[in-house]
């Protein structure tokens, strides 16, 4: 069983700030760090570190070649990443404040230049039972989902960052949703007040998408796994937060990686929560993702 992550690769420019810059304000930052990132790249690295053979497909410009090296160093196969001429790689401008919280401004660049020819060539290499992991930072998502469903691949969707585009996707094809409360509320068209009750949201998603399993992450309040037969409640581990960037990506990669390795749902959720807890104690996106041995040793 293989796993293909078809998703974004970003250069993350992370600025250390006192507080998020306000409208009309000019603020000097306390530092600038350049990291590899992008929800797709982060999730591929997390999948690979979780111990599964991982293939990444996507697109970068010439300026993003170092992203390929970093993925390769983490064991991810990048043969399906196109290096496009005359376009910049995707990038993110991230403000990281004193509490470790972040806000992110994205520039899509090459992430938005995926072609159907590329999708066809990539999908030819995968088969029934393989996993496809997607986020919402590239174009042609609906086409990718339809190709994967025709092949009988299992589709994992992390609908992040959430926007109206997600609502027009063929969501009935999804096998696993991995999402937070705000994303769940928006997919359900529910009252934002319902974001308070993660379990109810997961139940509503399971009713709406009867063929899918749902993993709902709730930050410090933990997470819940739900399908038609099973519910697993997972607490979040308490740690000293340095930078929350890529915590969700780490969770997604380790959860799906755990399932592919044959863990039961409870163990996969626990491993994912531990991996995300370690990630938030470290700066940056992809560089903050731990190795499986560290996760297994985490108390
Ligand atoms: O989830 C974190 C990621 O979101 C960052 O690495 C940034 O590139 C954005 O895609």
Tokens coding 43: 């999730």
Closest residue CA from atom 10 of ligand 1:
38
Report the residue among 5, 7, 94, 162 best suited for mutation to probe ligand 1: largest number of ligand atoms under 8 A from its CB: 94
Token pair 């938030």 is at which residue? 280
Report the residue among 88, 179, 249, 282 best suited for mutation to probe ligand 1: largest number of ligand atoms under 8 A from its CB: 249
Dist. CA 283 → ligand 1 center (Å):
13
Q: Say if CB 39 and CB 160 are below 8 A apart.
A: yes
Q: Say whether 43 sits in a helix, a strand or coil.
A: helix
Helix ranges (H only) for 209-264 are 247-260
Task: Calculate mean pLDDT across residues 129-156.
Answer: 98
287 pocket-lining for ligand 1 (C-beta < 6 Å):
no
Write out the H or E segment, with its range, that includes residue 266. helix 265-279
49 pocket-lining for ligand 1 (C-beta < 6 Å):
no
pLDDT tens-digit series, residues 250-276: 999 999 999 999 999 999 999 999 999
Dist. CA 248 → ligand 1 center (Å):
10
Task: Return the pLDDT at 192.
Answer: 78
**Residue 282's pLDDT band (boundaries 50, 70, 90)?**
very high
**Residue 190's pLDDT band (boundaries 50, 70, 90)?**
confident
246 pocket-lining for ligand 1 (C-beta < 6 Å):
yes
**Residue 194's pLDDT band (boundaries 50, 70, 90)?**
confident
- Nearest atom in ligand 1 to the alpha carbon of residue 245 is 2
Q: How far from each other are the two terminal CA atoms of the chain, in whole angstroms?
A: 30
243 pocket-lining for ligand 1 (C-beta < 6 Å):
no
**Residues whose CB falls within 8 Å of the CB of residue 264, separated by 6 or more in sequence, listed in order:** none
- Nearest atom in ligand 1 to the alpha carbon of residue 247 is 1
**Residue 193's pLDDT band (boundaries 50, 70, 90)?**
confident
pLDDT tens-digit series, residues 61-112: 999 999 999 999 999 999 999 999 999 999 999 999 999 899 999 999 999 9
Extended strands (E) in the chain = 3-6, 10-16, 31-37, 54-61, 77-84, 90-96, 102-107, 131-134, 154-157, 176-180, 213-217, 223-226, 231-234
φ, ψ for residue 103 (rounded to 5)? -135, 150
Q: Distance between CA 158 and CA 177 in Å, rounded?
A: 6
Task: Calculate mean pLDDT across residues 282-296.
Answer: 96
Sign, Cα dihedral of 12, 16, 22, 24: negative
39 pocket-lining for ligand 1 (C-beta < 6 Å):
yes
161 pocket-lining for ligand 1 (C-beta < 6 Å):
no
pLDDT tens-digit series, residues 53-62: 999 999 999 9
């Amino acid at each position: 069983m293989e796993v293909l992550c078809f998703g974004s690769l970003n250069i993350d420019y992370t600025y250390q700030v006192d507080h998020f810059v306000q409208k009309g304000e000019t603020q000097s930052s306390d530092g600038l760090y350049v990291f590899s990132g992008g929800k797709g790249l982060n999730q591929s690295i997390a999948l690979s570190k979780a111990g599964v053979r991982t293939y990444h497909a996507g697109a970068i410009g010439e300026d993003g070649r170092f992203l390929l090296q970093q993925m390769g160093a983490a064991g991810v196969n990048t043969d399906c990443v196109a290096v496009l001429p005359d376009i910049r790689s995707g990038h993110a401008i991230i403000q990281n404040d004193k509490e470790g919280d972040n806000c992110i401004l994205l520039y899509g660049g090459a992430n938005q230049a995926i072609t159907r020819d590329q999708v066809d060539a990539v999908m030819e290499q995968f088969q029934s039972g393989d996993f496809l992991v997607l986020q919402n930072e590239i174009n042609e998502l609906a086409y990718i989902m339809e190709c994967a469903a025709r092949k009988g691949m299992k589709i994992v969707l992390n609908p992040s960052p959430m926007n109206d585009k997600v609502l027009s996707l063929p969501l009935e094809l999804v096998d696993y949703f991995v999402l937070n409360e705000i994303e769940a509320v928006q997919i359900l068209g529910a009252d934002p007040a319902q974001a308070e009750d993660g379990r109810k949201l997961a139940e509503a998603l399971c009713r709406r998408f009867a063929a899918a399993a749902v993993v709902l992450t709730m930050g410090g309040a933990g997470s819940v796994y739900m399908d038609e037969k099973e519910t697993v409640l997972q607490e979040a581990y308490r740690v000293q937060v340095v930078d929350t960037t890529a915590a969700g990506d780490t969770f997604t990669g380790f959860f799906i990686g755990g399932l592919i390795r044959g863990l039961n749902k409870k163990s996969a959720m626990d491993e994912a929560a531990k991996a995300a807890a370690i990630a938030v104690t470290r700066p940056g996106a992809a560089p903050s993702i731990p190795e499986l041995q560290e996760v297994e040793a985490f108390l």
